[in-house]
A and B are shown apart, each in its own frame.
Chain A
Amino acid sequence: MEAANVHVHGAHDAAHGHGHHPTGLMRWVTTTNHKDIGTMYLWFSFAMFMVGGAMALIIRAELFQPGLQYVSPEFFNQMITLHGLIMVFGAIMPAFVGFANWMIPMMIGAPDMAFARMNNWSFWLLPPAGILLTASMFVTGGAAGTGWTLYPPLSVQMGMGMDMAIFAVHILGMSSIMGSINIITTILNMRAPGMTLMRLPMFCWTWLVTAYLLIAVMPVLAGAVTMILTDRHFGTSFFNAAGGGDPVMFQHIFWFFGHPEVYIIALPAFGVISHVIPAFARKPIFGYTSMVYAIASIALISFIVWAHHMYVVGMPVAGQLYFMYATMLIAVPTGVKVFNWVATMWRGSMTFETPMLFAIGFLFLFTIGGFTGLVLSMTSVDVQLQDTYYVVAHFHYVMVAGALYSAFAGVYYWLPKWTGHMYDETLGKWHFWLSFISFNAAFFPQHFLGLAGMPRRIPDYALQFTDFNQVSTYGAFVFGLSQLLFLYVVLKTIRGGEKAADKPWEGATGLEWTLPSPPPHHSFEEPPILK
């Protein structure tokens, strides 16, 4: 709050203020500026995306044909674990925190985030966590080979890499909680006069709800992994039946975190899409109020459906039925959002620049992921699909075509604002089409593999699964390499290009477009007045 008040009252005049800032590396280490921190979040997330992506390609290379070709089964298990943890905690979550840092102050008419120093700290916690996760590959015994879900007793058997993963999860959790406190405080206290909650930009709404979800569930995950830690080293038996514990209890605790986590990733993605679609349809978002209610209902329901990840642990039939009914309910508010987006496009005046292409790609593929989620919610059908490649296909449609595509849409949409330059539209479209086609080549066949009976998390498989695995591997490699094109487009835009207007998109609305491109060091020195 301090930083905010100081600047709002103009006690610290901007031109004067800039002289104090360190340059070079120290600028980034000591920065308390929301844009610098947002930029660091986004670059960190991209670096982790590359690391996690390289691991995915190792997995896909090994699965190109039956038999063991490149890696040992132990190493394969480590790859799937690190790929999952790095992509979820290192790539997708920080990417959206990066967007939040950049955009929330600019969208609500504030000069910066509420707690500027804590903002610096919540970013600088991430690199140590990323290093711990990645470096755990190189310690004795290697990284955890349990899958990102870290189920005991298997996680109790692991070597030191498991402890490093637990520690990394603790640090990431702290970072997320601090980030969330900052976002909630900023949104609730620093809005420009006249911006009531029901006039809040949709991206801010999604982040407000997400931040509450994070504060509610990150401590739960921290508790679960701490119990594993004490089971491993201090003789407790939380998850050991021989000592009176229960391995399934971990799954309940983990998924009580894990299911809201899905929406922690998805909601900010919804937020970005809710800005991009109206901008390129040149038409206000349809059903703002019902969108806000849908976000809130999704968040609430996400707390009461966790055990649909556990239909085959042998819970009582009443439990199976309850979790099935509750899970299916989520389809209702999610459907409302999809219908609203389509209604926003309806009778608009659409153009299809790269952000819009990714938004439509998101809408199309995320909905497919939603449909397979509906299939998986049916307990008796899920018994056939649990822990198969069908599930892998399902959550990649939600996580990659959902969250990642939305992040791409957001980057292309706001890049002119951030850098002051227009990106190369032709290359952006190439990036979209390559990603779209290769993503589907990589993941659509995995539905068939799962239906036909291929379990997930295996380094080697029976011969009847060969053909679709080969298609999937080709798709994955093209998808991975296409992301280098994205890197090139972004770098090229940062270095130069056509000058971007303050509002480069004809249909864009919101306070961020009233600022120059690139925006000044402190976004709004004086709060704008909303009529």
Chain B
Amino acid sequence: MTSKASSMAGLAGLGLSLYSGLSQAAWELTFQKPATRLGQEIFSLHDWMMVIITIIFVGVFGVMFYSVYAHRKSRGHKAAQFHENTLVEIVWTVVPLVILILMVIPVTGTVLAMRDTSNPDLTIKTTGYQWKWGYDYIKGEGEGIRFIATLATPPEQINGKAPKGEHYLLETDRHLVVPVGKKIRLLTTANDVIHAWWVPALAVKQDAIPGFVRDTWFKVEQEGIYRGQCAELCGKDHGYMPIVVEAVSAEKYSKWVEEQKKLMAAAADDPNKTWTLDELKSRGEKVYAANCVACHQATGKGVPGTFPALDGSKVVMGPKDVQIGTVLNGRPGTAMAAFGKQLSDVEIAAVVTYTRNAWGNKAADMAQPGEIKAARK
């Protein structure tokens, strides 16, 4: 932010101190500060093109506005009657062509560099879900780490019941942590509809397409936190699936990997444990809050006409295996996603048990993780 913009932001903050968030207001005119070399190149390319465009603009409209000023009837200008000149026509076909060639040469270089995903130090797969991003570290240091990152902005801020925080809508519960100075190859795919993984400061945008894997890469130059968003309309909460990348030094990254490994080991559920109804319900409520509320709502009433209610639903209150099948495999042609790959056996068992016993639903039975495991086969 320039100092001028900061002082303007300061004024705005004073005037509207109710909205603490506005103190961040900024009249940004160009790209965010790039944090990768490629981003830097794209930034300068854009500047270079703006220079050329401005010259052409001034030339063409200089002529036009001079003509508007000088060749007007009210000034007594008599119309000439010329209407053809082959030489002029050739010149203004060839000259733009030459300018275009001058513009395109440097761009071609960046396009080739952008698509060169060979020899990465670390490979991470990201999966777009409606409406969150899943990350799997699949090759390199940290292999095996996997988690899902969801929007961390509380609903009260969105609905105007609480002041908006500094990183309103651009904050997630988990950050994608990567080491600086390492080439990260990012594979993208999606579970339901097309999403696009975009972090402006890293100059990376890649569609995530269900059933296909695409790739892109980035190498962050400086430590820091970089924020982005889903860029392809993916349904109701398209505006609410941000991306937060945290670039750290190699040592900090190794430490983070250690911590994650320990946490994952600790969090792993004992596969042979038999769960009680209350344990499953309380675990299920958390799973529901993280995965289901966006559509089916906290009340279980859904959104009439768009997302079905679970409270009183025939599927939820019907045979257990049918409901488990729906959660595992989704329902093709609707927004109901297949959660089989996102959630563990315990989580699915818990959320099924929770929905069968929440709100007005009184099935009074439960699903054990073993049943889910069996249903997967």
Contacts and interface: CB of A to CB of B under 8 A. Distances in A.
Contacts of B196: 312, 386-387
B71 A349 contact: yes
A69 interface: yes
Interface in A303-354: 312-314, 317, 320-321, 324-325, 328-329, 331-332, 335-336, 338-339, 342-352
B83 A288 contact: yes
A451 B60 contact: no
A387 B229 CA distance: 11
Interface in B196-240: 196, 198, 200, 203-207, 209-212, 214-216, 227-240
B262 interface: no
Interface size class of B (residues with CB under 8 A): 35 or more
Contact of A345 (B67, B167, B233): B67
Contact of B60 (A157, A241, A367): A367
A15 interface: no
Interface stretch (A141-149, A403-411, A517-525): A141-149
A281 interface: yes
Contacts of B237: 73
Interface in A281-300: 281-290
Interface in A447-484: 448, 451-453, 455, 457-464, 466-468
Contact of B164 (A74, A329, A463): A463
Given A288-B83, A331-B100, A335-B96, A380 B45 contact: yes
A284 B81 CA distance: 7
Contact of A448 (B12, B29, B71, B193): B29
A378 interface: yes
Contacts of B160: 67-69
Contact of B114 (A283, A325, A380): A380
Interface stretch (B104-112, B132-140, B267-275): B104-112
B28 A452 contact: yes
Given A345-B71, A375-B53, A336 B93 contact: yes
Interface string A435-456: 0000000000000100111010
A387 B114 contact: no
A285 B27 CA distance: 43
A328 B104 contact: yes
Chief secondary structure at chain B's binding surface: mixed
A157 B164 CA distance: 32
Interface residues of A, number: 99
Nearest to B211: A241
B88 interface: yes
A350 B72 contact: yes
A156 interface: yes
A321 to B, nearest CB: 6
Contacts of B206: 312, 314
B84 A347 contact: no
A247 B68 contact: no
A11 interface: no
Looking at B49, B205, B228, B237, the one whose CB has the most chain A CB atoms below 10 A away is B205
Contact of A283 (B56, B74, B83, B233): B83
A374 B92 CA distance: 17
Interface string B63-85: 11001100111100111111111
A381 interface: yes
Interface in B15-69: 21-22, 24-32, 38, 41-42, 45-46, 49-50, 53, 56-57, 60-61, 63-64, 67-68
Contacts of A240: 211, 332
B27 A467 contact: yes
B96 A331 contact: yes
B305 interface: yes
A154 B27 CA distance: 34
Contacts of A331: 96, 100
A379 interface: yes
Interface in B108-160: 108, 110-112, 114-115, 157-160
Contacts of A343: 88
Interface string B153-193: 00001111000101111100000000000000000100011
Contacts of A448: 27-30
Contacts of B85: 286-287
A467 B11 CA distance: 13
Given A336-B93, A463-B21, A347 B80 contact: yes
A462 B170 contact: yes
A388 interface: yes
A77 B233 contact: yes
B334 interface: yes
Given A66-B169, A242-B211, A317-B111, A345 B68 contact: yes
Contact of B81 (A141, A283, A335): A283
A5 interface: no
Contact of B305 (A159, A283, A458): A159
A337 to B, nearest CB: 10
A66 B164 contact: yes
B319 interface: no
B30 A452 contact: yes
Contacts of B211: 240-242, 246-247
Contact of B232 (A145, A374, A387): A387
B235 A157 contact: yes
A363 interface: yes
Contacts of B42: 380-381, 383-384
Contact of A381 (B21, B49, B97, B159): B49
A394 interface: no
Nearest to B64: A342
A43 interface: no
Contact of A332 (B12, B100, B192): B100
A21 to B, nearest CB: 43
A311 to B, nearest CB: 9
A151 interface: yes
7 tightest Cβ-Cβ pairs between the two chains A and B: A241-B211, A314-B214, A458-B239, A453-B200, A349-B79, A452-B28, A380-B110
Given A142-B306, A151-B194, 8 more contacts: A246-B211, A247-B211, A286-B82, A314-B212, A328-B103, A332-B96, A346-B63, A467-B25
7 contacts: A74-B306, A281-B79, A324-B107, A375-B50, A387-B196, A452-B26, A459-B239
Interface of A: 66-69, 72-74, 77, 140-142, 145-147, 151-154, 156-157, 159, 232, 240-242, 246-248, 281-290, 312-314, 317, 320-321, 324-325, 328-329, 331-332, 335-336, 338-339, 342-352, 360, 363-364, 367-368, 371, 374-375, 378-381, 383-384, 386-388, 448, 451-453, 455, 457-464, 466-468, 507
Interface of B: 12, 21-22, 24-32, 38, 41-42, 45-46, 49-50, 53, 56-57, 60-61, 63-64, 67-68, 71-74, 77-85, 88-89, 92-93, 96-97, 100, 103-104, 107-108, 110-112, 114-115, 157-160, 164, 166-170, 188, 192-194, 196, 198, 200, 203-207, 209-212, 214-216, 227-240, 303, 305-306, 332-335
